[in-house]
Amino acid sequence: MTLKKNILSLTAGLFVSIALLAQAQLPGMDKSPLDVCYYPLRYPNLKVQETVKEPPVARVLYSRPKKEGRPVFGGLVEYGKLWRLGANEATEIEFYRPVTIGGKKIPKGRYTLYAIVQEKDWTFIINRETDVWGTFKYDAAKDLVRVDAPVEQLNEPVEFLAMTFEKSDSGIDLVVAWEQTKVALPIAL
């Protein structure tokens, strides 16, 4: 009887283990991994190192699609159409204090950042709706501001969509670069 109980217990344990392993499947690496950029640059690292010289102003969360030999602007990202400014979830920008964009005061908070891409300029859109996938739930009535910014051509191609903040005379610029294109959204502090 003890042998039967041991075999039964082992069999039950095996089935439970297989069931748990089947449920514990972790997702693979996304083709367009999520990234984050802060101003001041590397803010979390500076905070840990206790070398922060100024409080955080902004943070952007975005997915970084890869060019992979595809034509990006005018191809993958169609001219004149709303773009989530990345892949997967729409790009989000968070301001840790009030800022001014395009002459309009933007309150401290978290927003979605979209763009309408043209060959010579882009229209950046700050929208109140957050936690959205792509552009499927875009509602222009929730736009806070739209700002046009000129396109600059880069000498070297950028394989993965990249964003960073740069200090400017009036505050900071959110710089977006991909393929051989660079565009900056001015943010006054």
Res 3 pLDDT > 90: no
Phi, psi angle pair for 100, to nearest 5°: -125, 130
- 24-34 pLDDT per residue, tens: 788 888 899 99
In this prediction, residue 86 carries a pLDDT of 97
Q: What confidence score (pLDDT) does residue 12 get?
A: 52
List the structure tokens of 89: 């979830």
The tens digit of pLDDT for each residue in 137-188 reads 999 999 999 999 999 999 999 999 999 999 999 999 999 999 999 999 999 9
User: Is 19 a residue whose pLDDT tops 80?
Assistant: no
- Work out the percent of the chain whose per-residue pLDDT is above 70: 88
Question: Exposure of 179 by Cβ count < 10 A (0-12 exposed, 13-18 middle, 19+ buried)?
Answer: buried
